[in-house]
Chains A and B, each alone.
Chain A
Amino acid sequence: MTRDTKHLDAPAHTRGESIYLDDIPLISGTLFGVAFGSPIAHGNIRELHLNEAIQCPDVIRIFTYKDIPGENQIGGIIPDEPLFAETHVHYCGMPIAFVVATSEAAARHAVSKIKVDIDPLPVVTDPREAQANNDLIVPPRTFRLGDTTAAWQDCVHIIEATTETNGQEHLYIETQGSYALPQENQAIRVYSSTQAPTATQRVISKITGLAMHAIDVEVTRLGGGFGGKEDQANAWAAMCALACRHLRAPVKYSLPRTDDMVFTGKRHPYSADFKLGLDADQKIRAYEVTFYQNAGAAADLSPAVLERTLFHCTNTYYIPNVRATAYSCRTHLPPNTAFRGFGGPQGMFVIEAAIAKAAETLDIPAIEIQRANLICSGDEFPYGQKAVSEAHACWQKAETLYDIDTLQEEIGEFNAKHRLSKKGLAFMPICFGISFTKTLLNQARALVHVYTDGSVSLSTGAVEMGQGVNSKMIQVAATVFSIDPTLVRIQATSTQRIANTSPSAASATADLNGKAVEMACTAILQRLRSVAAAELQANPESITFLDGLVHIDGIPTVLHWKQLIMAAYIRRVSLSEHSHYATPQIHFDYTKEKGHPFAYHVYGTAIVIVTLDCLRGRYTVDAVKLVHDAGASMNPTIDRGQIEGGVVQGIGWMTMEEVVYDEKGRLRSNTLSAYKVPDIYSAPAEIALEFLHTDHDNLAVFRSKAVGEPPLMYGIGAYFALRNAILAFNPTAQIPFDAPLTPEKALMGLYQKQPTHVAG
């Protein structure tokens, strides 16, 4: 394996030659669409006035639900979301119409002339209020282990409180967009910035009434996705395809940033109540938690996100008695959606808050409770799966490698010496399950062609969005064939080449598609072995391949890859393979809420250290020191990049990234000047990374564990480190568990005079 392979897309990126949606050369006659979204969050549409807009110069046509030949429905899990509002609007920015003109400026100008009369209805933005109204997306779900009711009697300490985590804007730098081109016989080719080409294809099929075989969705790469283009790329693609179907002309919509921010959903805000019980030895005996997920106005992926919150509600701890209930609450916000971690971070925040609160109550460091309760191999998660744990290995390695005693001593000294500046430290151990929790999605296919010149074409369902999956796919093929990676080319992801794909999501893309590539290449290699045996008159069993040469009994022959391929072709042996992989061993019984949903878990431990300016309330993250369970990383450069990027994105969620809706459901943080993501100065001064290298057998491709989502949750440590810094300055502060901990909340905590009432 060529583990030092770099991100193979990067050279073209650095030359500005990589093609993103808005860079595709336009076909002559291309028209431009712009969506008109509801100006208010909830109401009945009385009348839509399009007259003035349609008369604007260069406007071709304005589409509404009335123009949909198929079904006005884009809901993925639950059919509860129209493409265009018909009689009701349920959130600000809900699409009502789609203006198509000969230029983007003309379309935008016409959109500004659309008027709509809406009779307003009450707006709910608080998930608890929705739950009280019984306005739920799906019935509540409860995971149970042991018996919490009985367990409280064994507890010496019982801690209760409420927590809040806010949403998070994906802020992929490339906004959403789509470009639909008419093909012969009603067919449509759609370029889309989507993480889920098949879902996009399915939605277009439903809207246009065309069969899926008439729609080809193709995606070369995304300028960032992070979950935001898993389900929410579909609407724009469907609008362009709908207009294309009617007008028989190419139609493009590349969303301006504010459209993107206003129209699309984000990471789900959660509110939660917890009750935690510990015995005299600081062992957690019982944990009850109720989650109120702010789903927004339609299901989108919320039920699946909700499920993962429950799966990760105990993070990396073993708790023998658990009852966790989760409500997916319908509010009048844009439908919230997938975002790196997919509900997991929201679940983990609550248990970490519970431990922090317990530590404060018992006046001991949280680290002691965390360490005493790490899950061991064989321990059961609340959903029935038994852990194969690296939790202790990661934690212990972090403690010794980064010399936790010295770190704590230094912080103590610093805090004693500085009145106006305080440091805080927190450990953030993680455990994240790998697989789609919806078992059926854990399948993938790969198509491999070897051409007669020895070059290899690879197609999978994976979508490259910066995570380096294409590089890893090429590594797999080059490793199986034992040829130079430059001989392998990965093709754009296309629903014509690979059908019925699962989204590139759940950190599982490299595993699923990589396994399929491995299978396809192995099948071709098997045939090549017979060809080589025949060519060299040797026993097929004695044939191996190494560095582009056929070997017999480990000794190189003169037969090289290209000759072998030509020989196979001449012998009429197939040089192509289409393979299918389905993750074995996984299952889940929804009636019992028990099973074995994950192929494996990824573990890790982060130590986060911050410095807080106690005069101004602003802060820096000094260091994040990590031990991360990577299995046997097949590409340490890419994996390090995923870890560092995830950490900083997680820190952003916990610190400065603040999604603000007003009481009328209007997004106030609707530009980059109002919504801040980390810049280079906000990145931790140091991110130290040590891989916990393990060679245990697991279901990861080449035993290289998934790395996309888990590191984001290390960022949660920044919240608790900051909290500790505030408490170092103002020990009596009662800081509500309300993330993000912005400089505003930090300053209010630092100078809190009288303890404010904390619910629970």
Chain B
Amino acid sequence: MVKFVLNNKFIRSDDPPATLLLDLIRYREHLTGTKIGCREGDCGACTVLIGELKGDRVVYRSATSCLTAIGNVHNKHVVTIEGINREDGGDLNFLQQAICEEGASQCGFCTPGFLVSMTGFCLNENEPTRAAAIAAVDGNICRCTGYKSIERALAKLTTLLATRTSSDVLEFAISQKILPGYFTSIPRRLAQLALEPNGVLHGVPATDARDSATSNPIFLGGGTDLYVQQPERMVRSHPAFLNIDPSLQQITESAGELRIGGGVTVTQLLESPLIHRAFPHFPHYARLISSTPIRNIATVAGNFVNASPIGDLSVFFLALDARITLSDGSTRRVLPLNKFFKSYKTLDKGPGEYVESVHLATPQPNTRFNFEKVSKRTCLDIASVNTAIQLTVDGDTIRQAHCSAGGVGPIPLYLQKTSQFLAGHQISAALVDAAIDSALTEISPISDVRGTAEYKRLLLGQLIKAHFITLFHHLPEEEWL
């Protein structure tokens, strides 16, 4: 049995844990404010908030309910638009009023999703800047308004949130009637739920977890790839829920090594002080990686295991010379990430194995890192080409280099030859040109919906240039062209 609180109501569902939250919300609970736009996490019409008890507070994050298994909201609080509405009749709360006043709702189909995302923004403890407000709705697509009216409504909201003095964001939201009062009862109710027997939710090891199609064990992280690739198979499966194991969600550092649990989400990376220290520009890269509600649930291991040739995190960690620990519950083994990808969508991974963690050397003062990605739409899109580089430098001399590229071969590529070539050389435009020539010998892009092979070759070269221009901007621009 899966148990959670949906808005102001306890849900104890006998539906299979792999059932999609969206379907439960709309077709079991008949809460039709949560809309279906695409069922692949690309429009945000089905956005909900998922609240998780952390100490005596509930931390809320937006998520796309179309890719969320109900097992992943076990013991959590799920908030739909209906749970945000004021309880005192048909009145509008501050956000709803702002949307109406600015004409930011036209056909209205995307509107509940935007409001849920905006509510998530109100419950975020970070500074309520204009940029943060826009980032909160970066997973919501509107086809009518052109977004300017939505930006105007967001501006009203940030002005209000700027008056917030206490760190208790929930109390502020309730006092401003952005949220109904029942939210204060949620921590107690989630604590109560957690005390009840756990029911039939599988964790790891995947003793009883079974894929409906193959009878192999199946593991579910955030679900953002699995439910896009094979929704019908997934909903009939009995996966092991990686999220119930807290050890998979930790980021730790010891002896010069960063260890990131396989179940860590992109948002957890973004919020980790360790990651921030190691990669100060991570927020800049993360903006190019999917959208807020996806980043909130998509995991590091999921991105690896999906084996997409353009997986952003695969490319990111390949350039960090990362290693991964695979486990089947009893036996562990470690292998370099660049050996994990064997051929198109084929991994060095047994059916019972899952990615427990990824490890990398903590960047030192003389290491330089950069990530680049270009897609048809800058944000919330799959890369045409992405690439990352890590250089260990001594002045202008490269001591060691690791370079990766996605979208230019059947797997996310570690550019072995190019990485080796760069080591020991002094940085110059000529060196970069030679590195590009080398990289072009290592890739085999194909023409597809994300671009022609010719374009991808040109683009990878440009992005390698971009690495050096970004990292060594004291060198004159003219040299690079």
Contacts and interface: CB of A to CB of B under 8 A. Distances in A.
A680 B150 contact: yes
A353 B375 CA distance: 26
A15 B92 contact: yes
A401 interface: no
B105 A420 contact: no
Q: Specify the main secondary structure of chain B where it touches its partner.
A: loop
Contacts of B253: none
A645 B466 contact: no
Contact of B109 (A7, A173, A256, A673): A173
B452 A744 contact: yes
A11 B97 CA distance: 8
B143 to A, nearest CB: 5
A744 B106 contact: no
A680 B150 CA distance: 9
Contact of B455 (A173, A641, A687, A744): A744
Contacts of A108: 232
Interface residues of A, number: 79
A465 B26 CA distance: 22
Nearest to A614: B481
Given A419-B478, A648-B147, A673-B42, A616 B462 contact: yes
B33 A105 contact: no
Interface stretch (A123-131, A406-414, A496-504, A664-672): A664-672
Interface string A661-693: 000000011011110111111110001000000
Given A616-B462, A747-B459, A16 B85 contact: yes
B34 interface: yes
Interface in A3-17: 6-7, 9-17
Contact of A742 (B80, B140, B143, B376): B376
Given A224-B143, A644-B149, A672-B40, A173 B35 contact: yes
Given A10-B105, A14-B92, A682-B377, A641 B85 contact: no
Interface stretch (A18-26, A443-451, A537-545, A697-705): A18-26
A658 to B, nearest CB: 7
Nearest to A680: B147
A588 interface: no
A640 interface: yes
A641 B145 contact: yes
Contacts of A9: 105, 108
Interface in B424-481: 448-452, 454-455, 458-459, 462-463, 465-466, 469, 477-478, 480-481
A485 interface: no
Contacts of A748: 454-455, 458
A751 interface: yes
Interface string B361-387: 000000000001011111111101000
Contacts of B462: 615-617, 747, 751
A221 B107 CA distance: 8
A172 B381 CA distance: 19
A592 interface: no
B109 A224 contact: yes
A19 B452 CA distance: 43
Interface stretch (B110-118, B120-128, B255-263): B110-118
A742 B376 CA distance: 6
Contacts of B111: 10, 13-14, 16
Contacts of A616: 372, 374, 459, 462-463, 466
Given A105-B232, A644-B149, A679 B101 contact: no
Given A676-B376, A680-B150, A671 B40 contact: yes
A454 interface: no
Interface string B72-84: 0000000011100
Contacts of B204: none
B43 interface: yes
Contact of B81 (A15, A225, A257, A658): A15
B300 interface: no
B147 A671 contact: no
Interface string B57-100: 00000000000000000000000111001000010100110011
Contacts of A23: 32
A638 interface: yes
B145 A681 contact: no
A660 B449 contact: yes
Contacts of A671: 38, 40, 42
A257 B38 contact: yes
B37 interface: yes
Interface residues of B, number: 82
Contacts of B450: 674
A677 B380 CA distance: 10
A466 interface: yes
B459 A222 contact: no
Contacts of A10: 99-100, 103, 105, 108, 111
B105 A744 contact: no
Given A14-B111, A644-B146, A660-B449, A615 B465 contact: yes
B141 interface: yes
Interface in B374-427: 374-382, 384
A637 interface: yes
Interface string A626-642: 00000000000110110
A334 interface: no
A668 B452 CA distance: 14
Contact of A20 (B35, B115, B148): B35
B106 A174 contact: no
Interface in B19-65: 26, 30-40, 42-43, 45
Contacts of A656: 376-377
Contact of B477 (A15, A420, A468): A420
Contacts of B171: none
A9 B105 CA distance: 8
Given A9-B108, A109-B232, A668-B448, A618 B374 contact: yes
Contacts of B30: 25
A226 interface: yes
B96 A673 contact: no
B147 A6 contact: no
A467 interface: yes
A743 interface: yes
Contacts of A644: 145-149
B151 interface: yes
A7 B105 contact: yes
A10, A18, A171, A419: residue with the most chain B Cβ atoms closer than 10 Å: A10
A221 B477 contact: no
Given A6-B100, A616-B463, A649 B107 contact: no
Contacts of B458: 747-748, 751
A72 B115 CA distance: 44
A466 B149 contact: no
Contacts of B32: 16, 19, 22-23
Contacts of B455: 744, 747-748
Nearest to A645: B146
A224 B37 CA distance: 11
B134 A680 contact: yes
Nearest to B42: A672
B160 interface: no
B107, B148, B378, B469: residue with the most chain A Cβ atoms closer than 10 Å: B107
Given A676-B375, A683-B151, 11 more contacts: A7-B103, A10-B105, A14-B105, A14-B111, A16-B80, A173-B37, A466-B108, A467-B106, A672-B37, A683-B148, A748-B454
Closest 3 CB pairs of A and B: A16-B33, A466-B107, A13-B108
12 contacts: A9-B105, A13-B105, A15-B90, A173-B35, A257-B38, A620-B378, A647-B146, A658-B449, A672-B40, A674-B382, A681-B378, A682-B377
Interface of B: 26, 30-40, 42-43, 45, 80-82, 85, 90, 92, 95-96, 99-101, 103, 105-112, 115, 134, 137-138, 140-151, 228, 232, 372, 374-382, 384, 448-452, 454-455, 458-459, 462-463, 465-466, 469, 477-478, 480-481
